[in-house]
Structure 1
Amino acid sequence: MADRLTQQHPFREKRPEGGPSTSQILAVVTLLPLSGTLLFLAGVTLTGTLIGLAVTTPLFVICSPVIVPAALVIALAVFGFLASGAFGITALSSLSWMLNYFKRMRGSLPMQMDQAKRRMQETTGQFGQKARETGQAIQSKAQEATK
């Protein structure tokens, strides 16, 4: 019955039963306002660039023989568009990173703990074996010395 439910709804078994962890809530509370602020800055920058371009275009037409102001206006417009795109991409990539981070943490943490536990047991076993071998070597040398 459980297999049939899992086959029908493959995401059902991946939902946490106890809700999100404290670290997940803290990350969302931290990164969501940051990405929202960056998206807001992207919108404000784009709006400011478009208004500035609309205001300076008539001046550009009137003063077209003057190349320096034209180059300045074009450079500022390009910079505004690039800054707007950079803010937007940064905000979206931080949200994407946050989602991928939580997906990886949910699946890999128990596996990492099991691996660390297994390594600790192996290391402890190797130290115990080494101690036995050293003790036997010392004991055999002591017996040879007494003979």
Structure 2
Amino acid sequence: MADVRTHSHQLQVHPQRQHEGGIKVLYPQSGPSSTQVLAVFVGVPIGGTLLTIAGLTLAGSVIGLMLAFPLFLIFSPVIVPAAFVIGLAMTGFLASGAIGLTGLSSMSWVLNYIRRAGQHIPEELEEAKHRLADMAEYVGQRTKDAGQTIEDKAHDVREAKTFDVRDRDTTKGTHNVRDTKTT
């Protein structure tokens, strides 16, 4: 007798969405907001204008350098030291500005830190008082314990010396007695 089992299988089919390109991928639920549209309408012309000005400035610099290059060759004994001096002066101005800005930002940080710390000082002062009181109590207890230990040891030493002295006295007395008896 063959045991034949029948199994029921279920097959689930999930529909696949087709990929839609374009702006719906970035904004699947709705279109761009009015703020985003305004940013694009204002940003593109301003960015384009600035890029155009940057390109014109670069082109003007290259043309000016090409026209001035013969003059640089002719007047190089004068221009090179002048350029060196101007470069040092600009470096000095930039360094002083950077150092000044660093100083101002440091002072601002310190003032803000002091303001924030001033708000927490009473809490920290109370915490310090509690820690100091706890430490004083701990030191006092340790001092009492150390004093008691020293007192106990001194008492033990005193008792040991007392017994030692009594033992010596009794042994001396017996020696003397023995010595007197034997002689």
Using the size of structure 2 for normalisation, the TM-score is 0.38
Bigger radius of gyration: 2
Using the size of structure 1 for normalisation, the TM-score is 0.45
**Larger relative CO (CA 8 A, sep 6+): 1 or 2?**
1
Query: Relative to total residues, which structure has the larger helix share, 1 or 2?
Result: 1
